[in-house]
Amino acid sequence: MFGRREKRPTLLTFERILVPMAGTEADEGALRLTAVLLAGSSGQALLTHVIEVPFERQLDAQDPKAVAYADEVLGRGEAFLTEQGVTVSTGISQARVAGAAIVDDAVAQRADLIVMGLRYKKRFGGGWDAGRTVPYVMRNSTAPVWCLRAETEELAHAP
């Protein structure tokens, strides 16, 4: 039992939060949540962008457009979190599939949480589709995964 003057442990304390950024509207929610979770702490946000390389190309092949896009996406995220007083580091990786790269990155950087945004999208036929990256990360990550689906006007007008 805690006395009135004893400090109670915080339930949601994270030191290293990995935030995979795809450059979509879903990134905003992940960045906002990360800012809230790290507010006033010495924790660090680890922003990452994965460039998926098709199988017909060498894995280490350079794609200046993809790198420029990654720099832009990460720069926006870094600017937002820095403005919120959060310590940030960024990184770009190349992989065949983003999910595996994100899981590997979380292990390599000792992330104690992954915060991911998820776009609302429909597949052919109208059913909602989570894609392949988020489900892969949720199945295979050793760190907890917090996933936020982006807000959408489309659902507000559904019958």
Q: What is the pLDDT of residues 99-135, one digit of tens each?
A: 999 999 999 999 999 999 987 666 666 666 677 899 9
CB 117 within 8 Å of CB 26: yes
Q: What structural domains and CATH numbers belong to the chain?
A: 16-149 (3.40.50.620)
For the record, the structure tokens of 86 come out as: 């959060």
Q: What share of the chain is helix, strand, coil (3-state, %, to 5)?
A: 35, 25, 40
Reported as a single tens digit per residue, the pLDDT across 42-79 is 999 999 999 999 888 888 888 899 999 999 999 999 99
pTM: 0.84
